[in-house]
A = this chain, B = another copy of it.
Amino acid sequence: MKNTNIYGVILAGGSGSRLWPLSRAEYPKQLLKLLNQDTSLFQETFLRLAKIAPKKNIITITNAKQASDIKIQLGEMDAFENPILSEPLGKNTAPAIALSTVYIKENMTKNDDDPIIIVAPSDHLIKNCIAFADTVKKGVSLAQAGYIVTFGIVPTHLDTGFGYIETTKTNDIQAISPSAFYVNQFREKPDLETAKEYIEKGSFYWNGGIFMFKASTLLDEMSVHANDIISVLNDSEISTEATTINFDDYEKMPNISIDYAVMEKSKKIALLPLNCGWNDLGSWQAIYDVAAKDANNNSISGNVINIDSENTLIYGTSDKLVATIGLKDVVIIETEDAILACNKNQTQDVKKVFDQLKQKNHAAYRIHRTVYRPWGHYTYMGEEKDYLIKTICVTPKSSLSLQLHHHRSEHWTVLSGNAIVQVGEEKFNLSSGESIDIPIKTKHRLENIGDEDLKIIEVQKGDYLSEDDIIRFQDEYGRADLISENA
């Protein structure tokens, strides 16, 4: 039986830079259904934690821009009501974990409860979920005894890309959990020589960012070692509306990781070795390493014709054709609006491309051409200075918000399915092939009451054609007060 006092916190605020162009700032790694999986890394994390904590006890903290996508993915797992804490801006892990802990304590438990919380990143691969659950459950008694438990990944090879954790055996800790260790020190990413030393000693583990603690332990340690975070929380109201927190207060938070803020300073850290086929999928090379491969060590998916390539990762995601000939140790990632062709031994430099695009404010760092919404999705088809074209797909029984635009008119043609269109105070039924004009500054709404997808093509005309020209009046998905999101 699951311990009803255990709560899960999923950290889902990734930047989306390392698996670009498949990941984007507003559609980062954890949302991706990689390697032809039906579930995203975020969803897999949720399902993993749901083996330890009651499903309803699992909350997610994420960037405000991704909250809508997280909600869609929770919905796919019948967890539409699970709380999402939406960060107005990224402040690294310490503020996120502190806020989540306070939120659980104040909003999800009774006043004198001291919940046990497991925190996990949302974008790692764990192949052996049974081993994961078994190890994590061993952490409960340590957490109850007042330790912050970190689950240290048992190193499988020499690697300079991770932080390491140095441990010792102590009787105190082993009395509680025989396989656990006391943590001496958190160590930064080492150079090659130092990494060799660590691996040879055998008492070092990789820092996988998975922690378990009693709420009171974490908050007490934070008061001692990171009181600037606690004082912001003490001074601010946390909204009881599940998915919003006050912007101004979060901005006051320091930008600091839980490692720097607490783990490297606290004397109450225990470690349980975790041996569960962990991979941080931190680059396309890491994806290649865990992917299924053909006889020539190629991992190929999508609309691809390959001749004579070896040791490649070829990933086509659109309807376009990708032809590869005689490539060796190359990664090709193809999306609707951007293509990456990269030496497989240099995939860490993808971040440099992402940073260049971000600096230029190029759309391809931020979003895909197809953007998912609670009601369906839209695909950007092209634009010139005075028009913009999109196709829009509305799923059955869904509707966009009642909205208006100050700077553009819209012309809709139904491609398939049936539409109910409100324009001003009038409603129209449109079937396949019919079209309608939405004048500028006019309230309108698009609705699909049918049983099949509704697809329309939208031509926007006006002097300013941008997603932020929208006023929402009513919305089925609680977005009537949000800004800068489409429909």
B346 with A415: CB separation less than 8 A:
no
B432 with A416: CB separation less than 8 A:
no
Bound Cα distance A353, B324 (Å) = 9
Q: Which B-chain residue is minimally distant from A384 (CB atoms)?
A: B416
Bound Cα distance A413, B459 (Å) = 8
Pick from B328, B334, B356: contact of A305, CB below 8 A.
B356
Task: Encode contact with B along A315-333: 1 for CB under 8 Å, 0 otherwise.
Answer: 0000111111111101010
Q: Is A433 an interface residue (CB 8 A)?
A: yes
Max chain B Cβ within 10 angstroms of own Cβ: one of A320, A364, A384: A320
A381 with B384: CB separation less than 8 A:
no
Q: Is A409 an interface residue (CB 8 A)?
A: yes
**Within 8 Å CB of A461, what residues of B?**
432-433
Bound Cα distance A483, B152 (Å) = 70
Q: Considering only CB atoms and an 8 Å cut-off, how many residues of chain A contact the other chain? A: 56
A435 with B413: CB separation less than 8 A:
yes
Q: Is A455 an interface residue (CB 8 A)?
A: yes
Interface residue stretch chosen among A11-19, A165-173, A177-185, A337-345: A337-345
**Within 8 Å CB of A346, what residues of B?**
308, 325-326
Q: Is A386 an interface residue (CB 8 A)?
A: yes
A324 with B337: CB separation less than 8 A:
no
Number of copies of this chain that the complex holds: 2
Task: Encode contact with B along A107-132: 1 for CB under 8 Å, 0 otherwise.
Answer: 00000000000000000000000000
B325 with A342: CB separation less than 8 A:
yes
B323 with A345: CB separation less than 8 A:
no
Task: List which A174-198 residues lie within 8 A (CB) of chain B.
Answer: none
Q: Is A387 an interface residue (CB 8 A)?
A: yes
Q: Is A373 an interface residue (CB 8 A)?
A: no
Task: Encode contact with B along A419-442: 1 for CB under 8 Å, 0 otherwise.
Answer: 000000000000011010100000
**Within 8 Å CB of A381, what residues of B?**
381-382, 389
Q: Is A34 an interface residue (CB 8 A)?
A: no
Q: Is A208 an interface residue (CB 8 A)?
A: no
Q: Which B-chain residue is minimally distant from A456 (CB atoms)?
A: B459
B345 with A326: CB separation less than 8 A:
yes
Task: List which A347-375 residues lie within 8 A (CB) of chain B.
Answer: 347, 349-350, 352-353, 356-357, 362, 364
A362 with B321: CB separation less than 8 A:
yes
List, sorted by A's number, 23 A–B pairs whose CB atoms are closer than 8 Å: A21-B321, A319-B337, A320-B339, A321-B338, A321-B364, A322-B341, A323-B338, A324-B340, A325-B341, A325-B347, A325-B349, A326-B342, A326-B349, A334-B339, A341-B341, A381-B381, A381-B382, A386-B416, A387-B416, A387-B432, A413-B413, A413-B459, A433-B461
A327-B330, A413-B435 known; 6 new pairs, CB 8 Å cut-off, are A307-B352, A325-B347, A325-B349, A387-B415, A413-B459, A457-B457
A residues sitting closer than 8 Å to B (CB atoms) are 21, 305, 307-308, 319-328, 330, 332, 334, 336-343, 345-347, 349-350, 352-353, 356-357, 362, 364, 381-382, 384, 386-387, 389, 391, 409, 411, 413, 415-416, 432-433, 435, 437, 455, 457, 459, 461
